[in-house]
């Protein structure tokens, strides 16, 4: 293969791989601080007015070209993932904005205890940073992305005011909240990166369309193509789309020198940089670093510890769905940004498992989706179909549990020996087993969820022991730590092995916590950017 | 396999999968077999599933000769022998069915796609926090 250098006269200060949640945040911070930034993204810009939720066949598209699962979507910019040995399918989106295009934008924070699991519960590892270390960047991110929420949650430390009031929880939310109140259990309105009022450039308030996982037509849901990227580009950052990085290049000393990528025509192009920042998610980042092996890095780039690709965490997801025949608030409002409960978030040894989980209320979807699955239960075909569908459609509320998924070295991302992407590059292979702790945690969540739904008046409850297609949160495969023999990067996201290589996506998580991780991922990315700005001026031309 | 072969068979099969209800004919009687075939052709996972189901069913003539119980038994046999393909095929059938305006009307549902009209956001009512605001902080200190 012949490689062409993009511009031999230009060496960027920082080259970022991936334009999603974390890459965009780093690009904006560094470019605003005067760094010469280039980002390489294998996907493309999205046109919000072309999102499928405005099309009559939107439910069918959610099964194919707009599936959350890259193995079903199979766009040219996607890469296949071998999941034969995995209990969970990873889900993601490749494009400017990354998975923030398809997320529900539910944005709780980790708890202080999540950073001290080893100290407090005797398992896994402690993070090299604390909640307090990260708090300023959580706050900054809330303002750039636009957080709707309210202070005073007794399950979390006090925090600064959100820039917008909460998304109203609706009559269905009030019904579930009332059940939590009667049980004496915690609940709180969800923090969301969804506009409850107009906020941000050209972004309207939510119009309660009811289905926000296929892009937001209204631009009310924050995605980084709408938030961080315009700022970064205004400051001179260059974003190259349709460009698939195949290798992080290194010099004879082992330091990163840039990347080789393939454009949409198959041209092999070299871009040089003084530093490389990986922001390609917890599967894509270890994949590319394993592909970037060399004489100086024989087991993959920055893998002297052997930890690269290990300790994959997904967040186990299961729960209960209740049918409420008298419910009169049909399918209105965000699908999962309603309320949460962290009654069972912290460890209680009497429960038979360590750590805990967050309940998230979920709303029903369109009739096609309800027919296909309520909590993993497909409506029967034949004579009973219509009665079952009518009972469930517009009357279904779920309580999903996101459980803390502790790191285990046998849960891995490796390179597949035969499966390749559309460019002929090795696909990642996921090996992932549900641990006994996770199983016990989910069983507890299902039992407690049933209690809440019954208290709220459900006449039928459907149990989902564990969903397969819920690997939204790709964590832990290049974790941070103080010990170079047990971690891949330090507390600033800087590689232990390569001092001009940084990782800012979910790969660096040490433990997973029991909440959606994106605000934490972005806070970590912003913190790393500030470290580069303040401590690594040597990377600036 | 010819289109007519598949269409004829599917018409009969769809009437068993989604039988008549109220004033609506079954999904086959609504003429959805061609729509199902067209939608399956757009995604090879769907078309593979459709092919697997059709291959495993009796011929159109044999299927037509069965009574209702026999037709259901034939469908159950495919569902049992190849649950993944049958399930995916059924998901496509369900989704196509619930795209139909006549079905929306029977469900007394507007049938609009979520956007661009959306719905009206209700006002935020802080009084709903009355009970939970009385609880003392209980997050675990480090």
Gap between the terminal Cα atoms of chain B: 67
Closest CB from A53, A347, A366 relative to B98:
A366
pLDDT at A329: 64
pLDDT at A365: 86
- H/E stretch holding A464: strand A460-464
Q: What CA–CA distance (Å, rounded) separates A31 from A242? A: 21
Is B86 within a domain?
yes
pLDDT at A328: 67
Q: Which residues of B touch A356 (CB under 8 A)?
A: none
Is B119 within a domain?
no
Q: Which residues of A touch B103 (CB under 8 A)?
A: 367
Kindly give the confidence (pLDDT) of every residue in chain A, 541 residues in length, as a single tens digit, with 9 standing for 90 and above: 788 888 888 899 999 999 999 999 999 999 999 999 999 999 999 999 899 999 999 999 999 999 999 999 999 999 999 999 999 999 999 999 999 999 999 999 999 999 999 999 999 999 999 999 999 999 999 999 999 999 999 999 999 999 999 999 999 999 999 999 999 999 999 999 999 999 999 999 999 998 888 999 999 999 999 999 999 999 999 999 999 999 999 999 999 999 999 999 999 999 999 999 999 999 999 999 999 999 999 999 999 999 999 999 998 888 999 999 877 666 689 998 899 999 999 999 999 999 999 999 999 889 999 999 999 999 999 999 999 999 999 999 999 999 999 999 999 999 999 999 999 999 999 999 999 999 999 999 999 999 999 999 999 999 999 889 999 999 999 999 999 999 999 999 999 999 999 999 999 999 999 999 999 999 999 999 999 999 999 999 9
Task: Judge: B92–A56 Cβ closer than 8 Å, yes or no.
Answer: no
Q: If you count residue pairs, one on A and one on B, with CB atoms under 8 Å apart, how many are there? A: 166
Task: Judge: B92–A154 Cβ closer than 8 Å, yes or no.
Answer: no
Answer whether B101 touches A (CB < 8 Å): no
Closest CA–CA distance from residue B7 to any residue of chain A (Å): 19
**CB interface of B with A, residues 2-21, below 8 Å:** 16-19, 21
pLDDT at A330: 61
pLDDT at B1: 47
Please tell me the total number of residues recorded for chain A in this structure.
Answer: 541
- Segment B65-82 shows an average pLDDT of 97
Cα A367 → chain centroid: 27
ipTM value: 0.95
Q: What CA–CA distance (Å, rounded) separates A493 from A108? A: 22
A153 and A107 Cβ atoms separated by less than 8 Å: no
Answer whether A47 touches B (CB < 8 Å): no
pLDDT at A102: 95
Q: What CA–CA distance (Å, rounded) separates B60 from A35? A: 68
Q: How many domains does chain B have?
A: 1
Answer whether A299 touches B (CB < 8 Å): no
DSSP A487-541: -SB-TTSBBSS-TTEEE-SGGG-SS-TTS--HHHHHHHHHHHHHHHHHH-GGG--
- Phi and psi, residue A318, nearest 5°: -155, -175
Site from A47, A54, A60 to mutate, B interface, most B CB atoms within 10 angstroms: A60
Closest CA–CA distance from residue B35 to any residue of chain A (Å): 12
Q: What CA–CA distance (Å, rounded) separates A396 from A520? A: 31
Answer whether B75 touches A (CB < 8 Å): yes
Q: Which residues of A touch B95 (CB under 8 A)?
A: 59-60, 63, 368, 371-372
Answer whether A447 touches B (CB < 8 Å): no
* Nearest in space to A105 (alpha carbons), one of A143, A70, A146: A146
Q: Cα angle vertex A267, ends A262, A268, to 5°?
A: 60
- H/E stretch holding A462: strand A460-464
Q: Cα angle vertex A115, ends A111, A119, to 5°?
A: 120
* Nearest in space to A425 (alpha carbons), one of A410, A415, A437, A434: A415
Closest CB from B43, B118, B122 relative to A170:
B122
Closest CB from A113, A381, A383 relative to B142:
A113
Is B135 within a domain?
no
Is B97 within a domain?
yes
Give the domain range for residue B89: 3-111
* Nearest in space to A339 (alpha carbons), one of A397, A393, A395: A397
Is B140 within a domain?
no
Is B49 within a domain?
yes
Is B134 within a domain?
no
Q: Cα angle vertex B132, ends B130, B133, to 5°?
A: 65
Closest CA–CA distance from residue A341 to any residue of chain B (Å): 11
A212 and A192 Cβ atoms separated by less than 8 Å: no
B86 and B24 Cβ atoms separated by less than 8 Å: no
Is B72 within a domain?
yes
- Segment B67-96 shows an average pLDDT of 98
pLDDT at A492: 98
* Nearest in space to A510 (alpha carbons), one of A105, A117, A68: A117
**CB interface of B with A, residues 11-70, below 8 Å:** 16-19, 21, 39, 42-43, 45-46
pLDDT at B5: 74
């Amino acid at each position: 293969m012949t490689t062409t250098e993009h511009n031999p006269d230009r060496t960027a200060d920082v080259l970022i791989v991936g334009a999603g949640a974390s890459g965009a945040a780093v690009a904006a911070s560094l470019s605003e601080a005067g760094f010469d930034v280039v980002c390489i993204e294998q996907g493309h810009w999205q046109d919000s007015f072309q999102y499928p939720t405005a099309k009559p066949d939107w439910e069918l598209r959610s099964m194919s070209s707009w599936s959350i699962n890259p193995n079903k979507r199979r766009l040219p910019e996607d890469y296949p993932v071998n999941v034969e040995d995995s209990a969970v399918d990873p889900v993601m989106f490749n494009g400017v904005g990354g998975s923030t295009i398809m997320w529900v934008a539910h944005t709780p924070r980790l708890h202080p205890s999540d950073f001290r699991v080893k100290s407090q519960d005797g398992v896994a590892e402690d993070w090299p940073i604390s909640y307090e270390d990260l708090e300023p960047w959580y706050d900054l991110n809330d303002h750039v992305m636009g957080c709707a929420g309210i202070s005073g949650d007794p399950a979390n430390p006090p925090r600064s005011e959100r820039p917008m009031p909460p998304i109203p929880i609706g009559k269905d939310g009030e019904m579930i909240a009332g059940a939590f109140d009667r049980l004496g259990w915690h609940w709180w309105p969800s923090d969301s990166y969804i506009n409850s009022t107009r906020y941000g450039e050209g972004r309207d308030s939510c119009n309660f369309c009811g289905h926000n996982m296929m892009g937001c037509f209204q631009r009310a849901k924050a995605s980084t193509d709408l938030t961080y990227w315009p700022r970064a580009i205004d400051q001179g950052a260059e974003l190259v789309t349709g460009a698939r990085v195949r290798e992080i290049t290194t010099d004879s000393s082992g330091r990163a020198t840039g990347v080789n990528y393939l454009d949409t025509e198959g041209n092999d192009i070299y871009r040089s940089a003084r530093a490389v920042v990986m922001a390609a998610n917890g599967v894509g980042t270890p994949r590319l670093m394993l592909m970037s092996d060399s004489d100086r890095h024989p087991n993959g780039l920055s893998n002297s510890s052997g930890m690269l690709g290990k300790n994959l965490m997904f967040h186990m997801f299961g729960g209960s769905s209740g049918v409420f025949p008298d419910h009169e608030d049909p399918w209105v409002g965000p699908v999962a940004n309603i309320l949460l409960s962290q009654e069972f978030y912290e460890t209680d040894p009497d429960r038979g498992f360590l750590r805990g989980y967050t309940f998230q209320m979920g709303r029903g979807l369109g009739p096609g989706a309800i027919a296909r699955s309520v909590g993993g239960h497909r409506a029967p075909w034949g004579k009973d179909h219509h009665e079952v569908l009518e009972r469930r459609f517009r009357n279904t509320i779920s309580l999903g549990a996101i459980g803390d998924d502790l790191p285990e070295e046998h849960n891995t991302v490796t390179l597949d020996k035969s499966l390749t992407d559309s460019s002929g590059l090795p696909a990642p292979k996921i090996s992932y087993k549900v641990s006994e702790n996770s199983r016990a945690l989910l069983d507890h969540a299902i039992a407690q969820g049933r209690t809440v739904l019954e208290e709220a008046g459900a006449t039928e409850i459907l149990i989902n022991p564990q969903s397969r297609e819920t690997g939204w949160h790709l964590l832990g495969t290049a974790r941070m730590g103080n010990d170079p023999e047990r971690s891949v990067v330090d507390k600033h996201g800087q590689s232990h092995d390569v001092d001009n290589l940084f990782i800012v996506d979910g790969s660096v998580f040490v433990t997973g916590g029991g909440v959606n991780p994106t605000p934490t991922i972005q806070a970590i990315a912003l913190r790393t950017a500030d470290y580069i700005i303040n401590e690594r001026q040597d990377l600036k031309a | 396999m010819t289109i007519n072969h598949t269409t004829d068979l599917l018409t009969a099969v769809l009437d068993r999968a989604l039988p008549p209800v109220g004033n609506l004919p079954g999904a086959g009687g609504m003429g959805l077999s061609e729509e199902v075939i067209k939608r399956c052709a757009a995604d090879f996972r769907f078309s593979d599933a459709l092919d697997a189901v059709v291959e495993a069913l009796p011929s159109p003539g044999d299927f037509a000769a069965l009574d209702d119980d026999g037709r259901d038994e034939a469908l159950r046999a495919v569902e049992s022998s190849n649950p993944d393909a049958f399930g995916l095929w059924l998901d496509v059938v369900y989704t196509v069915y619930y795209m139909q305006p006549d079905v929306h009307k029977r469900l007394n549902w507007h049938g609009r796609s979520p956007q661009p009209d959306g719905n009206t956001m209700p006002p935020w009512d802080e009084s709903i926090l009355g009970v939970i605001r009385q609880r003392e902080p209980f997050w675990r200190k480090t």
